[in-house]
Amino acid sequence: MNTARQHPARVGVAGGSGIGVGASFGRFAVLVGLAVGVSLGLVGCDAGPVEIDRSGPVAGWPHVGGDLGGGRYSPLTQITRENVGSLVEAWRYESGDVTPTTSLQVTPILVDDALVLCTPRNQIVSIDAETGRERWRFDAKPDLAGIYNPLCRGVAHARIESGGPGAACTSRIFFGTLDARLMAIDAATGEPCRDFGEDGTVDLRVGLGDLRTAEYYMTSPPLVVAGNVVTGAWVTDGQRVDAPGGVVRAFDQRTGRLVWAFDPVPLDRKPVTAADVAAGAEYTRGTPNVWTLLSADEESGLVFLPMGNAAPDHYGGERQGLDYYSSAIVALDARTGERRWHFQTVHHDLWDYDIASQPVLYTHPGPGGGRPALAQATKMGHVFLLDRLTGEPIFPVEERPVPQGGVTSEVVSPTQPFPTRPPPLHPHALPEEDVWGLTPIDRAECRKLVASLRNDGIFTPPSYEGTIVFPGLGGGVNWGAVSVDAERGRLVVNSMRNPFIVRIVPREEAEGTLEGTDLVGAQPQEGTPYVVVRAPLLSSWGMPCTPPPWGQLTSIDLATGEIEWQRPLGHLQELAPAFGRFFEWGTPNQGGPIQTAGGVVFVGATMDRTFRAFDAATGEMLWSAELPASGHATPMTYRVGEDGRQYVVIAAGGHFPLGSPSDDAIVAYALPE
H or E segment at 274? helix 274-278
- DSSP letter for each residue of 290-315: --S--EEETTTTEEEEE----SSSS-
Residue pair 638/596 in contact (Cβ under 8 Å)? The answer is no
Residue pair 550/587 in contact (Cβ under 8 Å)? The answer is yes
- Please report, for residues 95, 172, 188, 195, the alpha-carbon distance to residue 192 in angstroms, rounded to integers and kept in the order given: 20, 9, 11, 9
The helix, strand and coil proportions of the chain, stated in percent and rounded to the nearest 5, come to 10, 30, 60
Please state, in angstroms and rounded to a whole number, the distance separating the CA atoms of residues 149 and 655: 9
162-196 burial code (b ≥16 CB/10 A, e <16): eeeeeebbbbbbbbbbbbbbbbbbbbbebebbeeb
For residue 344, which phi and psi values (nearest 5 degrees)?
-95, 125
Instruction: Please identify which of the residues 237, 297, 352, 442 carries the catalytic annotation.
Output: 352
Identity (one letter) of the amino acid at 331? Answer: A
Assign 193 to helix, strand or coil: coil
- HEC-encoded secondary structure of 342-374: EEECCCCCCCCCCCCCCCEEEEECCHHHCEEEE
Residue pair 400/459 in contact (Cβ under 8 Å)? The answer is no
H or E segment at 593? strand 593-596
DSSP letter at 641 equals S
Q: Give the Cβ contact number of residue 210 at 10 Å.
A: 11
Which residues have a Cβ under 8 Å from the Cβ of 67 and sit 6 or more positions away? 73
Q: Is 643 an active-site residue?
A: no
Beta bridge pairs of residue 521: 516, 534
Judged by phi (left if over 0) then psi (alpha if -120 to 50, else beta), residue 374 lies in: beta
Please state, in angstroms and rounded to a whole number, the distance separating the CA atoms of residues 232 and 236: 13
- DSSP letter for each residue of 489-538: TEEEEEEE---EEEEEEEGGG--S---B-SSSEEE--BTSSEEEEEEE-B
Please state, in angstroms and rounded to a whole number, the distance separating the CA atoms of residues 632 and 651: 7
- Positions marked catalytic: 352
